[in-house]
């Protein structure tokens, strides 16, 4: 387009096209999108040490299992933000990453717990003490159940006898592992959600990894 007075070319501003370009530049990836490579890498980085700290292999520090799980998930969110170079972190992203960390950490903790039991029984020859401790626990459970429940003593005795059998021992060990894994996963999801609240809005420093 040219000026009607001097004939020099004029620039024409298109409001619709300008608005479209501005909106395309301002719009980044959806906040609910997740960079899976960075997410899995961050999860693996913290899931292994968290799982070890929550296992019976380190009984002194395993008492703070919930703190290790929540803290590890928060740290993983921070690492994910740097590796993915994202500023806005949605809560569903943190929950997903926390779920991954929880499942991995629970698997690691279960493996170390099983290894610790095998080592204590067959290498340290602690089978007798483990049997006595289990028997004492079952006696306490039997007494408490008889006091709290209105069931007959015969049913309580049969239940305790089943728990003392090999099948009962396997069932109780499996139940304990499932409950521990569920607890680790839930607290890890909570840590992931807290991590998004802590790190969202901060300027990430991209990390090449």
The DSSP string of 77-136 is HHHHHHHHT-S---HHHHHHHHHHHHHHHHHHHHHHHHHHHHIIIIIS--HHHHHHHHHH
Residue 108's closest CA among 61, 162, 50? Answer: 50
Tokens of 196: 């998004």
The pTM assigned to this predicted structure is 0.69
Tens-place pLDDT, residues 52-103:
999 887 777 878 889 999 999 999 999 999 998 888 889 999 999 999 999 9
Tens-place pLDDT, residues 92-112:
999 999 999 999 999 999 999
Q: Looking at residue 3, what is its pLDDT?
A: 61
**Other Cβ atoms closer than 10 A to 162:** 13
Q: Where are the domains of the chain?
A: 34-199
């Amino acid at each position: 387009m040219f000026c009607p007075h001097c004939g020099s070319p004029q620039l024409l501003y298109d409001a619709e096209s300008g608005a479209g370009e501005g909106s395309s530049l301002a719009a980044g990836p959806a906040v609910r999108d997740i960079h899976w490579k960075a997410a899995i890498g961050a999860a693996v980085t913290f899931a292994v040490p968290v799982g070890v700290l929550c296992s019976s292999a380190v009984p002194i520090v395993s008492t703070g299992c919930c703190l290790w799980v929540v803290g590890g998930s928060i740290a993983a969110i921070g690492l994910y933000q740097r590796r993915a170079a994202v500023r806005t972190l949605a809560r569903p992203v943190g929950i997903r990453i926390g779920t991954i960390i929880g499942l991995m950490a629970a698997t690691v903790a279960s493996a170390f717990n099983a290894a610790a039991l095998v080592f204590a029984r067959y290498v340290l020859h602690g089978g007798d003490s483990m049997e006595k401790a289990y028997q004492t626990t079952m006696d306490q459970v039997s007494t408490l159940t008889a006091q709290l429940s209105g069931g007959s003593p015969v049913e309580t005795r049969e239940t305790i006898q089943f728990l003392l059998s090999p099948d009962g021992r396997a069932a109780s060990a499996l139940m304990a592992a499932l409950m521990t894994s569920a607890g680790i996963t839930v607290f890890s999801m909570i840590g992931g959600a807290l991590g998004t609240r802590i790190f969202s809005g901060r300027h990430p420093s991209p990390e090449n990894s």
